[in-house]
C-alpha cells in the first residue's frame, strides 16, 4: 500500500515533467516574478515563511507586499516555474528546473578522442 510520501513524491515528479525552466527563461519574466525566482534559485526549495523572511530583509524599494508575493507565487506555480507542496503558511516551494537531456554522442567518440590525445 503506497504511503503519503510515495504519493507526494509521485505528484512532484508528475508536475516536474509538465514544465520547468532554464536560466534563459528568467529573462522573459516580469520583474517581480524574476525577483522571486532569483531568490528561489539560491536555495531551490523554501518554505513560505522563509520566503517572507528573505523578502522582508530586502531594501524597502525592492520588497513585494504580502499580497503581491502571494499573487506572484500563485502565478509561478500555475506556470510550473515552481512546485508547491502544502498550502498557505505551511507551503513549501521548489524550483521546477528542466531536466537536461543526456548526451547523444556515442561512447565510441570519447575513446577515439582519448586515443588521439594520447597518440
* pLDDT tens per residue across all 119 residues of the chain: 566 656 655 655 555 455 556 667 788 888 899 999 999 999 989 999 999 999 999 999 999 999 999 999 999 999 888 999 999 889 999 998 765 444 555 556 666 766 777 76
Contact between residue 12 and residue 85 where contact means Cβ atoms under 8 Å apart: yes
- CATH number of the domain that residue 37 is part of: 1.10.10.10
pLDDT at 100: 45
pLDDT at 12: 54
What range does the domain containing 112 cover? Answer: 4-118
C-beta atoms surrounding 73 within 10 Å = 21
pLDDT at 25: 72
Phi and psi, residue 97, nearest 5°: -80, 145
User: Which residue is it, cell 575513446?
Assistant: 111
b vs e for 50-64, b when ≥16 Cβ sit within 10 Å of the residue's Cβ?
Answer: ebbeebeeeeeeeeb
For the chain, what is the domain count?
1
Amino acid at each position: 500500500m503506497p504511503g503519503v510520501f510515495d504519493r507526494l513524491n509521485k505528484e512532484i515528479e508528475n508536475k516536474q515533467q509538465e514544465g520547468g525552466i532554464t536560466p534563459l527563461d528568467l529573462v522573459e519574466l516580469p520583474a517581480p516574478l524574476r525577483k522571486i525566482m532569483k531568490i528561489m534559485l539560491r536555495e531551490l526549495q523554501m518554505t513560505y515563511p522563509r520566503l517572507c523572511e528573505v523578502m522582508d530583509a530586502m531594501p524597502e524599494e525592492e520588497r513585494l507586499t504580502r499580497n503581491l508575493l502571494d499573487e506572484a507565487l500563485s502565478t509561478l506555480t500555475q506556470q510550473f516555474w515552481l512546485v508547491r507542496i502544502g498550502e498557505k503558511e505551511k507551503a513549501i516551494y521548489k524550483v521546477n528546473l528542466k531536466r537536461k537531456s543526456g548526451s547523444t554522442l556515442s561512447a565510441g567518440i570519447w575513446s577515439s578522442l582519448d586515443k588521439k590525445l594520447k597518440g
